Amino acid sequence: MVELKKEIDKLKREHNAVILAHNYQLDEVQDAADHVGDSLYLSNIAAKTDCEVIVFCGVRFMAETAKILSPDKVVLLPEMDAGCPLADTVTGSDVRNLKRQHPKSPVVCYVNSSSEVKAESDICCTSANAVKVVASLPERKVIFVPDANLGNYVAKHVVGKELVFWDGVCNTHAKVQPGDIYLMKEKYPEAKILVHPECSPDVVEAADFAGSTSEIIRYAESSTARTFIIGTEVGVLCQLRSTQTQKQIFLLHPGLVCPNMKKTRLQSVYDALLNKRYKIQVEESVAEKAKQAITRMLEVV
Ligand code: 13P
């Protein structure tokens, strides 16, 4: 592992590359990365980097977002079939249909969506800025795709808006039930329960805090509480356990493991740099329109 990491560093220098890793990546991948964070943070880094090559350790929509923001860079996704089933629940044509049904309503799309969906949308959002993005729109009625749980969370936190939802959910977060929270509260009454807004509304309601992966990490780092129950993908828990050694950190549900995020291993990162694979391409006309929606989001926050 140490040798592989050294080889990766060498290739990185040779290719003038930067390695970005989402908070859900395996520890070995997060350790090799230059930047680790949530979707919003990584999008900002991808937009500003001077490096010629971006190795995006995450899933396809994240790498596509990086390519759209930095079209002159080579963007590599180390595992070609690391996708997002939530993103696949909605297509560009579904969004066009929604726009026909609600012609005066802007479309907000969660970044967990394809480039085609982004191209059909007025503005993107991530879980870290969804409330701010929707609140920034002058229209009262807003179409929100594809995550209905995040949409519900937004609807509760923005005043005076009506949201039209798509019924997509994240299969991993959907496994969590309110009963899991009650069980954990019984076992660890002092614990803070921190969940992702991709969890169902009743789970979010029963938790102490809901936020993006990085917001969950910051909450646990800065809180004086000693015990935390994490209601998002296990990668966040691994990261917290290594830095917050004085605190007890537990996973809310054993099924909080995203199979797509776990496809990328340290070896995949090495192979990606060595063979310059898998190069992300986004069709120019799609990329141009999608970029407007992403850039508009980055300007809100
Ligand atoms: P964050 O934006 O909170 O990192 O979440 C991304 C994601 O895909 C959650 O499942």
pLDDT tens track for 135-166: 999 999 999 999 999 999 999 999 999 999 99
**262 — pLDDT class (breaks 50, 70, 90):** very high
**Residues 6 or more apart in contact with residue 285 via CB below 8 angstroms:** 119
| Closest protein CA for atom 3 of ligand 1 | 212
**Which pair of structure tokens corresponds to residue 191?**
């614990």
3-state secondary structure 32-64: HCCEEECHHHHHHHHHHCCCCEEEEECCHHHHH
**Token code pair at residue 228:** 């935390």
Where would I find the H helices in 49-194?
Answer: 60-69, 92-101, 115-119, 130-135, 148-157, 178-187
More confident residue, 296 or 301: 296
212 within ligand 1 shell (Cβ under 6 A): yes
* Ligand 1 site, residue 64, Cβ cutoff 6 A: no
- The rounded Å distance from CA 211 to ligand 1 centre is 9
What is the Å distance from ligand 1's center to 63 Cα?
A: 14
Measured CA to CA in angstroms, residue 41 lies from 62, 120, 128, 177 at distances of 11, 23, 9, 29
Rounded average pLDDT over 40-51: 94
Q: How far is the CA of 131 from the centre of ligand 1 (A)?
A: 15
**Cis before 270? omega within 30:** no
Tell whether ligand 1 has an atom less than 6 A from the beta carbon of residue 105.
no
Ligand 1 atom nearest 173 alpha carbon = 10
- pLDDT tens by residue, 83-113: 999 999 999 999 999 999 999 999 999 999 9
State the burial class of residue 190 (Cβ atoms within 10 Å of its Cβ: 0-12, 13-18, 19+). exposed
Mutation probe of ligand 1 site: the residue of 111, 154, 196, 230 with most atoms within 8 A of C-beta = 196
The residue to which tokens 């898998």 are assigned: 278
Confirm if 64 and 255 have CB atoms less than 8 A apart.
no
- DSSP 8-state code for residue 88: G
Q: What is the pLDDT of residue 34?
A: 97
Across 70-77, average pLDDT: 97
Nearest CA to ligand 1 atom 2: 39
Quote the pLDDT of residue 301: 62
Domains in the chain, CATH or no CATH each: 2-82+261-281 (3.40.50.10800), 87-170 (3.40.50.10800), 173-251 (3.40.50.10800)
- Residue 149, ligand 1, Cβ within 6 A: no
Counted residue by residue, the chain has a size of 301
Task: Read off the tokens for 117.
Answer: 């969906």
Distance (Å) from CA 213 to ligand 1 centroid: 6
Q: What is the mean pLDDT of residues 37-41?
A: 93
Average pLDDT, the chain: 97
Amino acid 231 reads G
Separation CA 68–CA 245 (nearest Å): 39
Mean pLDDT value across residues 46-55: 96
Nearest-CA residue for ligand 1 atom 4 is 38
Q: Is the pLDDT of residue 223 over 80?
A: yes
Q: Ligand 1 centroid to 13 CA: how many Å?
A: 29
How far apart are alpha carbons 36 and 72 in whole angstroms? 22
The CA distance from 226 to 298, in Å, is 34
pTM for the whole thing?
A: 0.96
229: Cβ contacts below 8 Å, ≥ 6 apart: 181, 184, 188, 191, 192, 193, 194, 250, 251, 252
Mean pLDDT of 1-18: 96
Distance 198 CA to ligand 1 centre (A): 8
User: Which backbone phi and psi does 59 adopt, to 5 degrees?
Assistant: -120, 170
Establish whether residue 213 lines the binding site of ligand 1, counting it when its CB lies within 6 angstroms of any ligand atom.
yes
